[in-house]
Homo-oligomer: A and B are copies of this chain.
Amino acid sequence: MRENIVVQNIERAEQAVIDGLAECGVATIHEAQGRVGLLAPYMRPIQTDVGVAGSALTISGAAGDNWMMHVAIEQAKPGDILVFAPTSLSSDGFFGDLLATSAQARGVVGLIIDGGVRDTRDLRKMNFPVWSRFVHAQGTIKETLGSVNVPLVCADALIYPGDVIVADDDGVVVVRREKAAEVLKLSRERMDREEAKRVRLANGELGLDIYDMRPGLAAKGLKYV
C-alpha cells in the first residue's frame, strides 16, 4: 500500500535566510519560533563547536539499508542537508566517508541521521558535520526501497523536504520553509534583546530585577529564611 517515491523538485528557502539562521543557532531559533521544532536530545554531533544550516533533503529508508542515500544524493542541491530516518530502530552505520565525498561534491553541507554513522574521523577531517543517534561501523545493505523528499519523522520531529535545518552543539532544530524568513526576523530580534540583557547581567544586575520576578515569587509564597 505504501508507495516509494522520489520527489525531484522541492522548494527551498532563500539562501540568505538559511545563512542568517545559521548565525542565530539552535536555542535562539527554538525560542523565537515558539519552542517548537527540536529534535530529540539523543542526536549528538560528531564534531565540536560547529554550526550549520541547510535545506532538508529528507530520506526515509529501512533499518540497516542505505540504498536511498545514493538515490537522495542525486537530488541534492548545494546547501542541502541530508535528513535520514530509518523506519525502525537501527544503530547501523548508514553513512561514511565515501557517501560524504559524494554528498560534498554535490554541495551537501551536513547530515542529520536518526541512526548510525561511521568513518567519523574522516568526516571531521573533511569538515562534513554530522548529528547522529549512534556511531557504529556496522555495514548496511541495499535491498529495500524507501522514499526521498517526503515528509518524515526524524528523532521526534516532523520534517518536510525543503524545511530549514539548523544544527550546532546544542542539537538540531527544524524551521518550516515558509516561515523561515519570519523566524529569522524573530530570532534576530531575540538576539538583540538578549544582547542588551547580557550586558546588564554581566554588570551584576540580577535576572530577578531585570525580569521583575520578585512580586511573582512572593505572590506564590516563596520564603526567604
- Using a CB–CB cutoff of 8 Å, the interface residues on chain A facing chain B are 1-8, 25-27, 30-36, 38, 40-41, 44, 49, 51, 62-64, 67, 69-71, 73-74, 87-93, 96-99, 101-102, 104-106, 116, 118-121, 124, 134-139, 141-145, 151, 153, 156-158, 168-171, 173, 179, 182-183, 186, 194, 197-198, 201-208, 211, 213, 216-217, 220-225
Contact = CB atoms under 8 A, between A and B. Distances in A.
B88 A88 contact: no
B223 A142 contact: no
A208 B121 contact: no
16 contacts: A1-B34, A2-B34, A2-B36, A4-B223, A30-B137, A31-B139, A38-B88, A41-B136, A62-B141, A67-B217, A70-B207, A71-B208, A89-B89, A98-B194, A145-B222, A153-B153
A136 B2 contact: no
A27 B119 contact: yes
Contact of A207 (B40, B73, B221): B73
Given A67-B217, A88-B91, 19 more contacts: A2-B33, A5-B224, A8-B224, A27-B93, A35-B87, A38-B88, A38-B136, A44-B135, A49-B124, A51-B121, A63-B64, A89-B90, A98-B194, A120-B169, A121-B168, A135-B171, A141-B143, A142-B213, A153-B156
A202 B102 CA distance: 6
Contact of A26 (B7, B30, B70, B137): B137
A200 to B, nearest CB: 9
A1 B223 contact: no
Q: A-B pairs with the 6 shortest C-beta distances?
A: A2-B34, A70-B207, A41-B136, A102-B201, A27-B137, A1-B34
